Amino acid sequence: MKTTTIYSLLLVFCLTVFGTISASGQQSLYFNVVQYGAKNDSSKIATGPIKKAIDAAVKVGGGTIYFPPGKYLTGPIHLKSNITILIDAGAELHFSDNFDDYLPMVPSRWEGTDVTNFSPLFYAYKAENIAIRGRGVIDGHGKKWWGYSEVTVKTSPGSTWQDEFHRLNKDILRPDLPGWVEKGFLRPPFIQPMHCKNVLIEGITIRNSPFWTVNPEFCENVTVTGVTINNPHSPNTDGINPESCRYVHISNCHISVGDDCITIKSGKDRAGRKMNAPAENYTITNCTMLAGHGGVVIGSEMSGGVKKIVISNCVFDGTDRGIRIKTARGRGGVVEDIRVDNIIMKNIREQAIVLDMQYAATKPEPVSERTPAFRNIHFSNITAETNQAGFLNGLAEMPIENISFSGLEFRAKTGFVINQSRQVAFHNVTVNTASGPSIKAAEVHDLEIDGVTSRTPHANTPVVELNDVDDAFIYGCFPKVGTDVFLKLNGGKTQNITVNGNNFRHVKTPVQKEEKLESLKIDPNQP
């Protein structure tokens, strides 16, 4: 009995001691910025006290930098390994709009070009296990940045900031076309971890970014979840732009911005090809997007390649475009293995779906490392109310390849336009247009149309129009009552057209051929 009692007392003592050590150890990992001199009434800039708190945490191997409720005025915050920034509910971080606060300039990337530039507002370089989280607000006060870059830089002879930029960037690999790099005043991204691993951004509300908002560069294992981004109508204030990263997970975010809501990039022109760092293994899910040039966009800076991307369970309401993939001659790089599924689009001002390889006007050239490619891209289960259903625009020397659309229900002013593509398939697709065909294809090879219809057929207008299309198979279609012409064939290069297994009983003219194609033979069982 005595032995048992002694053991019991020892156990209680040990649990008490180690529990106290654990609790005190956990407590010591929190670094309250107020205790390091930060003012939570925004009466004094807190850049120094925040840095002191981070340095103190780094000395003990890392920790959580805690912002209790209040308003803080700060310059740039540089994260180190094993540092979490915790912005509590009721806390607001207001970033200074004094450009000098973002000096000295640091290694950065700007629209796919590696530069030395103003420090991002949140910045990390070659760090691991970093996080920015909480229910608080961070405000970039971007208005002064926008005005200076869009107005002052264009009219003034120069500035000390531009002089410093040019001094530090004499030998950079510039984009093919001159632009902002030559002007030398590049607004900083809001959040830019570079060459980092295990990055978490969670729960916070972000507003008024000077430039791109969340912009991981060359990072691995990035999670952005539960984040709200509100930027007004403003230049280049994209929402989430992970560039040249691996294993990126974006979920449960709400985004309304001045440019694209979410954009995937991998470097621009020669600099992007030299780095050869693709964007790969991304998942984007359960997000809502309101204002923005595009809901989810790939490019146009994609010279390092973009591959293995899944976009699912999202709602776009009021964006200019829904899904947009864009590039141009000179970029190089390959966009491939993309899946888009379970998307609702409402009030889309331009196209619901865009694959455009001629985003910039360029002249045809021989295929080389400068030639981009789009292939293996698949869209399914999408409902859209849009101005135009879709636009596919390849290159004569490099057509878009292996694209499929399945289970689409679109209401649009105009339908799909497809140029310079091959291996394109439509399965169970309804496109109700206000005018024009549901699908209009030109210079397409290997086209499959299965179960395509329109509930709003128009007099003297085909549902499907093919111009210089080679090798098409149209089957399983059941045009609705009132359809005047289902299929119209144009172009002297149109050949190898098979029409079989359709129900044309409601159609006045199932197949219409222009005069020079009268000798073209299609399936003999069709009228």
Residue in 114, 238, 269, 293 annotated catalytic: 293
Q: Is 166 a catalytic residue?
A: no
What phi and psi values does residue 6 have, to the nearest 5 degrees? -60, -45
CA distance readout (Å), 113 to 191, 209, 310, 382, 427: 17, 20, 26, 35, 40
Per-residue pLDDT, 230: 98
Gap between the Cα atoms of 343 and 32, Å rounded: 42
Say if residue 72 is exposed, middle or buried (CB neighbours under 10 Å; 0-12, 13-18, 19+): buried
d(CA 438, CA 452): 9
CB 212 within 8 A of CB 238: yes
At residue 516, the pLDDT reads 78
Handedness of CA 399, 400, 406, 411 (dihedral sign): negative
Pairing of strands 77-78, 106-110: unpaired
Between CA 390 and CA 253, with CA 320 as vertex, the angle to 5 degrees is 110
Catalytic residue among 139, 238, 259, 269: 259
Rounded Cα distance between 205 and 93, Å, is: 10
Verify whether residue 293 is a known catalytic residue: yes
Domain 30-221+241-246: assigned CATH number: 2.160.20.10
Rounded to two decimals, what is the model's pTM? 0.92
Give me the pLDDT at residue 151, please: 93
Q: pLDDT of the chain along its 527 residues, tens only?
A: 455 444 444 443 443 333 333 333 444 499 999 999 999 999 999 999 999 999 999 999 999 999 999 999 999 999 999 999 999 999 999 999 999 999 999 999 999 999 999 999 999 999 999 999 999 999 999 999 999 999 999 888 889 999 999 999 999 988 888 888 889 999 999 999 999 999 999 999 999 999 999 999 999 999 999 999 999 999 999 999 999 999 999 999 999 999 999 999 999 998 899 899 999 999 999 999 999 999 999 999 999 999 999 999 999 999 999 999 999 999 999 999 999 999 999 999 999 999 999 998 888 999 999 999 999 999 999 999 999 999 999 999 999 999 999 999 999 999 999 999 999 999 999 999 999 999 999 999 999 999 999 999 999 999 999 999 999 999 999 999 999 999 999 999 999 999 999 999 999 999 999 877 776 777 544 44
